[in-house]
Structure 1
Amino acid sequence: MASTKNPVDVDADPPDRRGAKRDELLEIEATRALTAAEHALGFWPAIRQYPQATFWSMFFCLAVVMAGYDAQIITSFYALPAFQLRYGDPVGSGGSGHYEVSAPWQMALGMGNPVGQVLGALASGYPLERFGRRRTLAACCVWSIALVFVQFFATSVGMLCAGEILAGLAYGFYVVIAPTYSSEICPLALRGFLTTSVNLAFVIGQFVAQGVAAGLETRLDEWAYKAPFALQWLWPVIILAGLPFAPESPYWLVRQGRKSDARHALVKLSSSRSPPDIDQVLLGIEQTDLLEQELEATTSYRDCFKGVHLVRTEISVMVYLIQVIGGNPLIAYATYFFEKAGLNPSDAFNMGVGNTALGFVGTITSWPLMNYFGFGRRTIYNAGMVVMTVLLFIIGFLSIPTGNTGAVWAMATLMDIWTFTYQMTVGPICFVIISEISATRLRSKTIAIATAVQAAATIVTTVAMPYMLNSDEANWGGKAGFLFGSISFICFVWCYFRLPESRGRTFEELDILFQRRIPARQFKHYDLLGEGEAGSRVAKEEA
């Protein structure tokens, strides 16, 4: 084990830091050995060293399951006969008995979750820095339990809308806390795997929601939509039971000056049989925090838009925003989309369940892509954008002929393939990127901004989608593929020029690369360790 002396204490070693020039700060110094060790650590050895970190990262992701579940269950209700009968209006002529929830009410209900997320995400910055990850999550769980009562006992659609908005405040916190916590408790080798678990949690929530809705599709009483609300009491209770045993983020503890607590948290996160060098890991956290303090003294939202942090915020916002504007609303409306495309309600619900199941498989498939085959974040994300764009245009062209049953099934199948591709690439890799690209001192705020922008875009699509798909409005059906395909192509162009490769980089390395303003397409091959070793050899020769 390394010495327990604090090598970054400015009082103990003032000449090296306080008198250093900025160019001298932008080098791998005391952490060179740790950085090289992080690069050399493989996936399975990292699992053996940090089994508790793996568990607690996934445990925190349970909160995201709630966010995915709530967003999906509301849109699934639009195709639920009992919900249509309770809140819908008769459509068609001749008294056919068919009901449809009007576009304005679909818009109002669907906006509850994203509106709450915008407010919750932006409000999360202060409590996360003031109270830490654990206590903030606990408070949000209590809030969620209370708001499920509002949804469950709602006596009107207006009351239900209010419950959705207020519950969404907690969901905004959840989608910030989970990736922030995951990225701060795991080593470099596990960062991609554990941060993609955030997307897996979303998919699990969507899958459970689709399965519950499909299972209750034949019921015509109020329990067809009340039982799904009641299920939301399960997750916060489980989280509250486990949180007292969860370690706090060591990065947050270091920023609070609680280094002994940070060391204790690292011990709890690692294996007792095959532990890492705790003192060296703590040194790396301290050095990264000190470097960022030297480069930026404060940690406000304003700092996210200053200097190189503006670039890091831009990247985080865009990779999250693309999830919405690149075609993801078609997943949220999958069951309703299938029904509007011509499938009967039973087939539509079955296709919806299959769609979310493929999303689950796709997210798991992203793990070997990153860890076994070694593809980078930029490579996977951009490849996904290409395939998704092509599929959206094909869906659009298939929708041109009307009354063709084969074309309807082909569109539904391509939607499933699109979902699998999305959940294997853009969906999970987004959470890896936003967890790596942002500076550690600004991470919760950068992710909060990206979440708020993404949720705001969701509000726009929530307004637009019912009018696109409803039979008494635009009735686009599969032609929506043309719109999202065009937007997806523009997003791919941005990705090609602006998205850097962060695979295999420690947080300190990423700080240095951004501060040096290395072009995005050069991140992958820029050798910080090599240049430092060459500089050391030159210095020795000159001496």
Structure 2
Amino acid sequence: MAEEKRVQTTDQVSIVDEAGKKAEGHTLNATADITKSEHELGFFMAVKQYPMAVFWAMFFCIAVIMAGFDAQLVTSFYALPSFQQRFGYLYQDKYIISAPWQTGLGMGNPIGQIVGALACGWPLEKFGRKKTLAACCVWSVGFVFMQFFSTSIGMLCAGEILGGLAYGFYVVIAPTYASEICPLALRGVLTASVNLAFVIGQFIAQGCAAGVESRLDEWAYKIPFAIQWIWPVVLLAGLLFAPESPYWLIRQNRKDDARKSLLKLTSASHRPDIESLLVMIEETDLLERELEAQASYLECFRGLNLRRTEISIMVYLIQVIGGNPLIGYANFFFEQAGLDASDAFNMGVGNTAMGFVGTCLSWPLMSHFGRRTIYNYGMLLMTIILFVIGFLDLRSGMSAITWAQASLMDIWTFIYQMTVGPICFVIISEVSSTRLRGRTIAITTAVQALASIVFTIAMPYMLSTDQANWHGKAGFLFGAVSLVCLVWCWFRIPESRGRTFEELDILFERKVPARKFAQYDLLENHQVA
């Protein structure tokens, strides 16, 4: 592939700071050989060289499974008869959870993500990825008790909000860690695995809800809550042996520990040049120190980093404002569309199953197409489907129309999880600088969680029978928003495939337009833009 063959071996690259002064001494000579090796390394050889990096990146994603499980679990309970009878009220001969309480329960995950994501920046840089994740696991174990033993919907709501604080940490730590321990050839797949973890969590939650749907006792919702104890216990046991991020260790001036970490992440029989890897990490950190005054949240919105932060925020925000809330309310949406409870839960399981397959298919797609291409085409198809769902609802009341809408929701989920869902995590892990990555991902997580709060408040009122009762007409709203986002994507999302972190730093410093990232040759265009 063209990107993999492109070797940037410029003798000297001068970096211009915001004041227009040149930062001295940065060269690509020191990293030319390892950069060439990174571009030439194929996927399967990368797996042979970095088998433990693959394992540990996947292992850290277990934390994200918890976040996906919890978010999907609570919303699926709204269509669970036993949960409705225990915490709901009688409306037109049927028990329902009131829209205000649906809003309150749904707030736990997004509010937790906002507070947790913004709070995680300092401990991530102070204590590292491992210790921060371990502390969050202990927190989760404690507040699952509160959810499990809840005697009122208010107590359950409090448990969701307090327990949700850890989820903000999880969704920041996993992609940050994955992007820092893997080579260029594996970066896309392993960061996209964060989305797969979300889907797995949603799938397990849907399966649990469907499995207990026929139960009429309290165990119909207590069993799924109890399952949440599994993930943190597994993580705590494995973290004792996990290597720390070599990028973080270099920033802490712990070069020997970084070397040991790289030795743990690579294969003894197919090991790359560890010393060259350390030099590349040090040079990338040096370059970013020259470009950035300090690693802080405010720095994410200054100078060159403003554009990188904007891209990261938008690709994650689009997940929410472009229609993703309909996935979380899949069971409720199907039931409100006219399906009985059993069919609604079965369609919900099918919805998440198709999401799982779609995410897995995104991996080979990333090997043949760029991040920008996959994201933009996904947005186009999703926008069309949302409008079709909306127009079908104008002829609602027919069984065939109801099943068509439900099937289109499954197809929309499949496309979303094959394109926008996983590629989002790849983009935010690549376009953010390594020194600000944790804080940039924290900001993007907080912004999308804030948008989730808005839709958590709005969705029950949009879909509930005793409120707006929109049904499939919600497709018009999300379709219109998606169309606007599609225009933004075309002009602002750059192509980061086949670029090392150091090369991306230089491309952003030169203010290369998003549509020219893929073709821009750093060797030929050696003059500062």
- TM bucket (normalised to shorter chain) is over 0.9
Match of 2:403 among 409, 419, 423: 409
Q: Distance in 2 between matches of 1:137 and 1:488?
A: 34
Paired residues of 2:312 and 2:440 also in contact (CA < 8 A): yes
Q: Does 2:165 match 1:155?
A: no
Q: Does 2:237 match 1:237?
A: no
Partner of 1:37: 37
Paired residues of 1:34 and 1:284 also in contact (CA < 8 A): yes
Partner of 2:9: none
Q: Does 2:455 match 1:461?
A: yes
How much has 1:26 moved relative to structure 2?
Answer: 7.1
Q: Distance in 1 between matches of 2:342 and 2:161?
A: 30
Identity level (%): 69
Partner of 1:291: 287
Q: Distance in 1 between matches of 2:522 and 2:331?
A: 49
Partner of 1:474: 468
How much has 1:112 moved relative to structure 2?
Answer: 1.1
* DSSP-derived class of the 2:394 partner: coil
Partner of 1:368: 364
Partner of 2:7: none
Letter in 2 for 1:134: K
Q: Distance in 2 between matches of 1:312 and 1:81?
A: 46
* DSSP-derived class of the 2:382 partner: helix
C-alpha offsets along residues 71-96 of structure 1, whole Å, 9 cap, x if unaligned? 0000000000000001111111xxx3
How much has 1:297 moved relative to structure 2?
Answer: 2.7
Partner of 2:371: 377
Partner of 2:277: 281
TM-score, structure 2 normalization: 0.95
Q: Distance in 2 between matches of 1:355 and 1:28?
A: 48
Paired residues of 2:109 and 2:160 also in contact (CA < 8 A): yes
Partner of 2:517: 523
Partner of 2:483: 489
C-alpha offsets along residues 25-79 of structure 1, whole Å, 9 cap, x if unaligned? 6763321222121111110010000000000000000000000000000000000
Paired residues of 1:50 and 1:271 also in contact (CA < 8 A): yes
Partner of 2:185: 189
For residues 83-482 of structure 1, what are the structure 2 equivalents within 5 Å? 83-92=83-92, 96=93, 98-371=94-367, 374-482=368-476
C-alpha offsets along residues 375-409 of structure 1, whole Å, 9 cap, x if unaligned? 00000000000000000000000011131110100
* DSSP-derived class of the 1:441 partner: coil
Identify unmatched segments of 5+ residues in structure 1.
Answer: 1-15, 536-543
How much has 1:277 moved relative to structure 2?
Answer: 0.8
Q: Distance in 1 between matches of 2:95 and 2:37?
A: 62
Q: Distance in 1 between matches of 2:361 and 2:493?
A: 22
Q: Distance in 1 between matches of 2:387 and 2:146?
A: 42
How much has 1:527 moved relative to structure 2?
Answer: 1.1
Query: Structure 2 vs 1, CA of residues 25 and 530 (structure 1 numbering), >3 Å: closer, same or farther?
Result: farther
How much has 1:356 moved relative to structure 2?
Answer: 0.1
Paired residues of 2:23 and 2:290 also in contact (CA < 8 A): no
Letter in 1 for 2:441: I
* DSSP-derived class of the 2:30 partner: coil
Q: Distance in 2 between matches of 1:134 and 1:273?
A: 27
Letter in 2 for 1:234: I
Letter in 1 for 2:36: A
Paired residues of 1:28 and 1:509 also in contact (CA < 8 A): no
How much has 1:296 moved relative to structure 2?
Answer: 1.1
C-alpha offsets along residues 423-470 of structure 1, whole Å, 9 cap, x if unaligned? 000000000000001000000000000000000000000000000000
Q: Distance in 1 between matches of 2:474 and 2:277?
A: 49
* DSSP-derived class of the 2:397 partner: coil
How much has 1:293 moved relative to structure 2?
Answer: 0.6
C-alpha offsets along residues 158-197 of structure 1, whole Å, 9 cap, x if unaligned? 1111111111110000000000000000000000000010
Paired residues of 1:32 and 1:529 also in contact (CA < 8 A): no
Partner of 2:5: none
After superposition, the CA RMSD in angstroms is 1.5
Q: Distance in 2 between matches of 1:26 and 1:326?
A: 42
C-alpha offsets along residues 207-265 of structure 1, whole Å, 9 cap, x if unaligned? 00000000000001000011111000000000000001000000000000000100110
Paired residues of 2:293 and 2:299 also in contact (CA < 8 A): no
Letter in 1 for 2:208: V
Partner of 1:506: 500
Paired residues of 1:75 and 1:110 also in contact (CA < 8 A): yes
Q: Distance in 1 between matches of 2:441 and 2:396?
A: 43
Letter in 2 for 1:146: G
Paired residues of 2:313 and 2:443 also in contact (CA < 8 A): yes
Q: Distance in 1 between matches of 2:509 and 2:407?
A: 45
Q: Distance in 1 between matches of 2:229 and 2:524?
A: 53
How much has 1:530 moved relative to structure 2?
Answer: 4.8
How much has 1:315 moved relative to structure 2?
Answer: 0.4
* DSSP-derived class of the 2:46 partner: helix
Letter in 2 for 1:133: R
Q: Distance in 1 between matches of 2:387 and 2:525?
A: 46
Q: Distance in 2 between matches of 1:24 and 1:379?
A: 36
Paired residues of 1:25 and 1:291 also in contact (CA < 8 A): no
Paired residues of 1:27 and 1:528 also in contact (CA < 8 A): no
Partner of 1:68: 68
Q: Distance in 1 between matches of 2:335 and 2:26?
A: 56
Q: Distance in 2 between matches of 1:309 and 1:183?
A: 18
Q: Distance in 1 between matches of 2:22 and 2:241?
A: 41
Letter in 2 for 1:33: D
Letter in 1 for 2:506: I
C-alpha offsets along residues 315-372 of structure 1, whole Å, 9 cap, x if unaligned? 000000000000000000001000000000000000000000000000000001012x
Q: Distance in 2 between matches of 1:119 and 1:51?
A: 34
Paired residues of 1:304 and 1:310 also in contact (CA < 8 A): yes
TM-score, structure 1 normalization: 0.92
* DSSP-derived class of the 1:300 partner: coil
How much has 1:308 moved relative to structure 2?
Answer: 1.1
Q: Distance in 2 between matches of 1:319 and 1:134?
A: 27
* DSSP-derived class of the 1:403 partner: coil
Paired residues of 1:116 and 1:166 also in contact (CA < 8 A): yes
Letter in 2 for 1:465: M
Letter in 2 for 1:68: G
Which structure has the bigger radius of gyration? 1
Q: Distance in 1 between matches of 2:232 and 2:419?
A: 29
Paired residues of 2:430 and 2:501 also in contact (CA < 8 A): yes
Letter in 2 for 1:63: A
How much has 1:483 moved relative to structure 2?
Answer: 0.2
* DSSP-derived class of the 1:399 partner: helix
Query: Structure 2 vs 1, CA of residues 27 and 500 (structure 1 numbering), >3 Å: closer, same or farther?
Result: farther
